[in-house]
Amino acid sequence: DGGITQSPKYLFRKEGQNVTLSCEQNLNHDAMYWYRQDPGQGLRLIYYSQIVNDFQKGDIAEGYSVSREKKESFPLTVTSAQKNPTAFYLCASSIDFRRQEGNGYTFGSGTRLTVV
Amino acid sequence: DQQVKQNSPSLSVQEGRISILNCDYTNSMFDYFLWYKKYPAEGPTFLISISSIKDKNEDGRFTVFLNKSAKHLSLHIVPSQPGDSAVYFCAASAYNQGGKLIFGQGTELSVKP
C-alpha cells in the first residue's frame, strides 16, 4: 500500500536540543510539505520541496531546516532556535507541485513534539 | 494575511440534521478548493473538492457549494452522523501562483446522538 510514514509518533525534546522528524513516501510524488498545527491556528506551512535537491521556505520557516536528497524522503529538523516547538507536525506529498486536482495532498499521521 | 478563513471554530449539530461548515477566501486567483477531515492525532484525509468552473459538487452525504462572487464556499453534510465529529479544514490553491494549498483554521464539528 502506498502512503506517507511519519516517525516517531511522539517525540520529546529537551531545551537546546535539535531533533529530526522523519517523513517517507512511496507514492512517487514529486512534491513534499511540512506543516505545523497549533490549536486555533490551522495548518501553517514550514517548508516545501517541489523536486529532489530543491526546497523553499514556507510561512514559518525560522528555527527549522530540511533536506531533500531522495525523492522519497523529506526530514525536518527542529533546531534550538525554534522558540516554541511544541506542536503537532504533519508531512504531506502531492503528485506535482503545481497541480492539486483530485485529492490534493496526501498526509502522514503526524508527529507530536513536546519540549520538556 | 489569512487568505482562507473559517470563522467558526466549532459547530454542534444533532445526529440526523444538516451540518453546514463555512469558508471564506480573499484571493480571487484561487481556482481549486478542497475540504479535509481530521481526527485527533491523525493526519487530515481528503473529503471532497470543487473546481472554480463549478458551483456545486456532491459525493454521497457531502456537498460543497462555491459562490465565487462572494468568495465563499460551504460544506453540507446530510444527514450528520456521530462519526462525522472531527475538525474540518478548507483549503484553496491557485494554479498560476504555484499551486500550493492554503488552509483555513479549521472548524471542529461535534455531532451529538
Q: State pLDDT tens for residues A6-65.
A: 999 999 988 889 999 999 999 999 999 999 998 877 899 999 999 999 999 999 999 999
A43-51 LR contacts (CB < 8 Å, sep 24+): A43/A90, A43/B44, A43/B89, A43/B103, A43/B106, A45/B100, A46/A76, A46/A89, A47/A76, A48/A97, A48/B100, A49/A74, A50/A97, A51/A97
Which residues, numbered 36 to 75 in chain A, qualify as contacts with chain B under a Cβ-Cβ cut-off of 8 Å? 40-43, 45, 48
Task: Inform me whether the C-beta atom of residue B7 falls under 8 Å from chain A C-beta atoms.
Answer: no
Q: State pLDDT tens for residues B64-87.
A: 999 999 999 999 999 999 999 999
pLDDT at A97: 67
Distance (Å) from the alpha carbon of A48 to chain B's nearest alpha carbon? 9
φ/ψ (deg, to 5) at B20? -125, 115
Q: Is the pLDDT of residue B13 over 90?
A: yes
CA distances from A59 to A45, A75, B30, B34 (A): 5, 18, 18, 20
Judging contacts by C-beta atoms under 8 Å, the chain B residues touching residue A4 are 43
Judging contacts by C-beta atoms under 8 Å, the chain B residues touching residue A105 are 44, 46, 101
> Residue A3 in contact with residue A27, Cβ under 8 Å?
yes
Distance (Å) from the alpha carbon of A114 to chain B's nearest alpha carbon? 14
Task: Inform me whether the C-beta atom of residue B95 falls under 8 Å from chain A C-beta atoms.
Answer: yes
CB contact under 8 A, A42 and B93: no
Q: Which residue has the cell 479535509?
A: B36
Q: Is the pLDDT of residue A102 over 80?
A: no
pLDDT at A116: 85
**Mean pLDDT of all residues in B28-36:** 93
> Residue A66 in contact with residue A17, Cβ under 8 Å?
no
Q: Which of B43, B98, B101 sits opposite A104 (nearest CB)?
A: B101
Q: Which of B101, B107, B108 to mutate to test the interface with A (most CBs of A within 10 A)?
A: B101
Position with higher pLDDT, A28 vs B96 = A28
Position with higher pLDDT, B100 vs A66 = A66
Q: State pLDDT tens for residues B40-73.
A: 888 999 999 999 999 999 999 999 999 999 999 9
Q: Which of B49, B95, B105 sits opposite A40 (nearest CB)?
A: B105
Q: Which of B30, B33, B37, B100 to mutate to test the interface with A (most CBs of A within 10 A)?
A: B100
Judging contacts by C-beta atoms under 8 Å, the chain A residues touching residue B50 are none
The span from the CA of B111 to the CA of B52, in Å, is: 30
